[in-house]
């Protein structure tokens, strides 16, 4: 029979001497100096920072997902087959993403005759069916319908775009970390993520690496001279053995070589962090964490001196909400911001293709390609890399623009056009900070549908419910952003049929911030500037949820910079 923890079991484990240097993980009990929940780039930043600054410390990392690659947390797009066919990677992303909050669907089937079972009519006169993992508490109009999570070792860094732009000062208004120190932390984050902004421009010999990248970038530089058009800073490095390909950074990049930690780092996958338990002798400290081994369906109790939760902007507040600690966190889940997303795809103008054909620098490469493939109508080698261009956020245009060709859960070209002439435009708009925008885990107030009544997600954790609305100013800025995207698109080419300018489903940007925001005030933030949870001596949080600002830029660089602010003395 699977082991189930009781309160007596928890007390028994807490009374054991700690740390037990000879302890080995078993079915019911585990321990380390530091326990980190979540194995994405932020969790790895905490792990590396702690291990490098505390030479005798042992770290136990837990993840609810499985390890799906031989290298811990590696980016799945490093496979050559996906770099040869970027559209094929779309299916990898679709398979990795799991929706956060899905309202029950209308399942009335008018053509179901005879004696077939149908769900009874509800109070609203509609026939609904509660599928496993669906959320009967979700109000459709306040949902981030497309919001999703990735449950695997490495998290979303197994398929992210690796875009790491430096935010504008307006995107850092509320960040409590001092300016000078913040600049140092950003530089540290770039090193951890291996960020470069030249891997698609020129090689060591001064030759253009990507024809498509340079023709798109130069076209926009000419037509938009005041917009600071530039290459996207990417967590990527061109391979030395074959420069046609690159190595995308994953969580493994942040952690670095495991061998230097000499066995002080352990990872246990498919372990659900169920709840935090307070120390019976100190209500303001975590005394242990209750886990569920998903492989054996058994409970495990684990102890540490310090605990770090980095389970994403939805998963982290979920874990923090399920606790029996005597501390109130009024800001938990509130101040949620998510980016609006405008999207379209264009087919490059004929004059841009002509410019490629007539460029003397690319002549040799084009002739070699045409010699091998005389029937190809395009003067672009098949191995030519995609464009990676951006127009940064400004006060006049408060949105972040990416003009590139990459894989998302949408936007695959398929047989409609040659992917070499297709360019994606993604414009990300920030959202006004409002306390009422939130994610909650116990159902709306006065609702009988609480976690205790059985409303859980597919992994048995409290079901996340969104209450998010964009303000009137958000709508005005979104409309301006859409016009700007159309203007930029018309510079580059004609719209690809089926990918006309459109706003995407709320939540699809996957860039939620604010749910565990850092700050000085324990009423308006969850953790202090060092990410230590207010009122709890040995608990830290990390991830995009810690960002206290509203942003148009990609948030990962900022999240990693915040988590690297963890003081070395956190274990003392």
Please tell me the predicted confidence (pLDDT) of residue 19. 56
Q: Does the structure show a pLDDT above 70 at 150?
A: yes
- Dist. CA 532–CA 46, nearest whole Å: 12
Q: What is the mean pLDDT of the chain?
A: 89
Do residues 88 and 125 make contact, with C-beta atoms less than 8 angstroms apart? no
Higher pLDDT, 183 or 449: 183
How many CB atoms within 10 Å of residue 505? 14
Which tokens is 87 given? 């559209």
The answer to whether 18 and 302 have CB atoms below 8 angstroms apart is no
For residues 6-31, one letter each, b for 16 or more C-beta atoms within 10 angstroms of the residue's C-beta and e for the rest, the string is eeebbeebbeeeeeeeeeeeeebbbb
Q: Provide the pLDDT for residue 451.
A: 44
Q: Is 273 part of a structural domain of the chain?
A: yes
pLDDT level of residue 455 (50, 70, 90 thresholds) = confident
Q: Which of 102-111, 160-169, 332-341 has the lowest mean pLDDT?
A: 102-111
Residue 307 lies in a domain: yes
Please give the Cα distance from 140 to 129 (Å, whole number): 16
Tell me how far apart the alpha carbons of residues 43 and 154 are, in angstroms, rounded to a whole number: 9
pLDDT tens profile 330-367: 999 999 999 999 999 999 999 999 999 999 999 999 99
Residue 518's beta-bridge partner residues?
527
* pLDDT over 70 at 127, yes or no: no
Does residue 150 contact residue 236 with C-beta atoms inside 8 Å? no
How far is residue 156's CA from residue 164's CA, in Å, rounded to a whole number? 14
| pLDDT greater than 80 at residue 200 | yes
DSSP secondary structure letter of residue 445: T
What are the respective helix, strand and coil percentages of the chain, to the nearest 5?
30, 20, 50
The residues annotated with a catalytic role in the active site are: 511, 554
**Confidence tier at 126 by pLDDT (50, 70, 90):** low
Task: Decide if pLDDT at 285 tops 50.
Answer: yes
Model confidence at 123: pLDDT above 70? no
Tell whether 516 is covered by a domain: no
User: Is a pLDDT exceeding 60 seen at residue 449?
Assistant: no
pLDDT tens string 55-88: 899 999 999 999 999 999 999 999 999 998 888 8
The answer to whether 223 and 491 have CB atoms below 8 angstroms apart is yes
How many angstroms separate the CA atoms of 414 and 389, rounded? 23
Peptide bond into 19 cis (omega under 30): yes
Which of 463, 393, 372, 367 has its CA nearest to residue 167? 393
Q: Are the C-beta atoms of 527 and 42 separated by less than 8 Å?
A: no
The percentage of residues in the chain with a pLDDT greater than 90, rounded to a whole number, is 72
Element (H, E) at 368: helix 363-372
Give yes or no for a contact between 535 and 521, defined as CB atoms under 8 angstroms apart.
no
Q: How confident is the model at residue 11 (pLDDT cuts 50, 70, 90)?
A: low
Residue recorded with tokens 């709890």: 536
Q: By the 8 A CB rule, do 232 and 404 touch? A: yes
Helix (H, G, I), strand (E, B) or coil at 135: coil
Q: Tell me if 308 is assigned to some domain.
A: yes
Is residue 430, in this structure, part of any structural domain at all? no
Q: Domain for residue 285, yes or no?
A: yes
Query: Which residue, 314, 323, 302, is CA-closest to 457?
Result: 314
CB atoms closer than 10 angstroms to residue 330: 13
Residue 317 lies in a domain: yes
Least confident span in 35-39, 105-109, 190-194, 395-399: 105-109
* pLDDT confidence of residue 140: 87
C-alpha span between 12 and 280 (Å, rounded): 11
Residue by residue, DSSP assigns 24-69 as: ---SSEEE-SEEEE--SHHHHHHHHHHHHH-TT--EEEE-SSB--S
pLDDT at 1: 59
Q: What pLDDT score does 131 carry?
A: 66
**pLDDT band at residue 114 under the 50/70/90 scheme:** confident
Is residue 14 very low, low, confident or very high in pLDDT (cuts 50, 70, 90)?
low
| Mean pLDDT, rounded, for 384-397 | 97
Q: Domain of 293: which CATH number?
A: 3.50.50.60
- 309/542 Cα distance (integer angstroms): 6
pLDDT band per the 50, 70, 90 thresholds, residue 27:
confident
Domain count, the chain: 1
* Interval 393-401 mean pLDDT: 98
Question: 133's torsion region: left (phi>0), alpha (psi -120 to 50) or beta?
Answer: left
pLDDT value at position 283? 78
Question: From the CB of residue 92, how many other CB atoms can be counted at a distance below 10 Å?
Answer: 17
What per-residue confidence (pLDDT) applies to 332?
A: 94
Q: Taking the model in full, what pTM does it have?
A: 0.92
pLDDT the model gives residue 447: 47
Classified as helix, coil or strand, 562 is helix
Query: Does any domain span residue 536?
Result: yes
Q: Which two tokens stand for residue 402?
A: 């990416």
pLDDT digits (tens, 9 = 90+) for 533-542: 999 999 999 9
| Residue 450 pLDDT grade (very low, low, confident, very high; cuts 50, 70, 90) | very low
Q: Taking 80 as the threshold, does the pLDDT of residue 18 lie above it?
A: no
Residue pair 535/20 in contact (Cβ under 8 Å)? The answer is no
Q: What is the mean pLDDT of residues 373-401?
A: 96
Range of the domain at 25: 7-71+253-334+531-543
State whether the Cα torsion 562-564-569-571 is positive or negative: positive
What does the pLDDT average to over 140-157? 95
Structure tokens at 98: 């799991």
pLDDT of res. 324: 57
CB-CB contact of 282 with 222 (8 Å): no
Instruction: Report the interhelical angle of 179-193 vs 41-53 (nearest 10°).
Output: 100
What per-residue confidence (pLDDT) applies to 357?
Answer: 95
């Amino acid at each position: 029979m699977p082991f189930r923890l009781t309160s007596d079991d928890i007390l028994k484990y807490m009374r054991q001497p700690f740390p037990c240097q000879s302890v080995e993980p078993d079915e019911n009990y585990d321990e380390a100096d530091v326990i980190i929940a979540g194995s994405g780039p932020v969790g790895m930043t905490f792990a590396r920072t702690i291990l490098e600054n505390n030479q005798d410390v042992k770290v136990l990392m837990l993840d609810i997902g499985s390890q799906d690659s031989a290298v811990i947390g590696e980016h799945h797009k490093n496979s050559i087959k996906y770099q040869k066919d970027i559209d094929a990677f779309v299916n990898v992303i679709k398979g990795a993403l799991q929706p956060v909050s899905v309202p029950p669907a209308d399942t009335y089937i008018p053509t179901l005759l005879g004696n077939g079972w149908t769900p009874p009519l509800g109070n609203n006169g509609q026939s609904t069916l509660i599928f496993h993992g669906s959320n009967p508490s979700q109000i459709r109009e306040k949902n981030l319908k497309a919001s999703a999570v990735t449950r695997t070792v490495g998290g979303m860094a197994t398929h992210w775009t690796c875009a790491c732009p430096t935010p504008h000062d307006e995107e850092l208004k509320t960040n409590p970390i001092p300016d000078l120190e913040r600049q140092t932390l950003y530089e540290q984050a770039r090193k951890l993520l291996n960020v470069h902004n030249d891997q698609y421009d020129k090689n060591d010999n001064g030759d253009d690496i990507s024809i498509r990248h340079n023709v798109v970038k130069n076209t926009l530089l000419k037509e938009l001279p005041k917009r600071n058009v530039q290459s996207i800073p990417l967590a990527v490095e061109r391979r030395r053995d074959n420069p046609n390909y690159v190595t995308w950074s994953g969580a493994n990049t942040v952690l670095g070589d495991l061998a230097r930690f000499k066995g002080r780092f352990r990872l246990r996958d498919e372990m659900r962090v169920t709840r935090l338990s307070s120390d019976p002798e100190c209500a303001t400290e975590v005394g242990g964490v209750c886990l569920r081994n998903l492989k054996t369906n058994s409970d495990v109790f684990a102890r540490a001196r310090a605990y770090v939760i980095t389970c994403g902007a939805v998963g982290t507040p979920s874990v923090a909400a399920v606790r029996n600690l005597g501390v109130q966190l009024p800001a938990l889940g509130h101040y949620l911001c998510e980016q609006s997303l405008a999207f379209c795809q264009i087919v490059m103008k004929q004059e841009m293709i002509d410019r490629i054909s007539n460029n003397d620098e690319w002549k040799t490469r084009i002739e070699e390609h045409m010699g091998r493939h005389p029937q190809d109508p395009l003067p672009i080698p098949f191995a030519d890399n995609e464009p990676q261009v951006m127009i940064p956020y400004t006060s006049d245009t408060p949105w972040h623009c990416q003009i590139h060709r990459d894989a998302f859960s949408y936007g695959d070209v398929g047989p409609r056009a040659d992917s070499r002439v297709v360019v994606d435009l993604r414009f990300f708009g920030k959202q006004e900070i409002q306390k009422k925008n939130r994610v909650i885990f116990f159902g709306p107030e006065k609702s009988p549908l609480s976690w205790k009544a059985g409303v859980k997600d597919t992994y048995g954790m409290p079901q996340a419910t969104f209450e998010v609305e964009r303000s009137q100013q958000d709508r005005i800025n979104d409309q301006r952003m859409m016009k700007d995207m159309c203007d930029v698109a018309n510079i580059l080419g004609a719209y690809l049929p089926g990918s006309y300018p459109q706003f995407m489903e709320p939540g699809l940007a996957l860039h939620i911030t604010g749910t565990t925001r850092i700050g000085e005030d324990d009423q308006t933030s969850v953790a202090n500037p060092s990410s230590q949870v207010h009122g709890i001596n040995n608990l830290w949080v990390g991830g995009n949820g810690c960002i206290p600002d509203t942003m148009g830029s990609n948030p990962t660089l900022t999240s990693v910079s915040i988590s690297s602010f963890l003081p070395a003395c956190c274990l003392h």
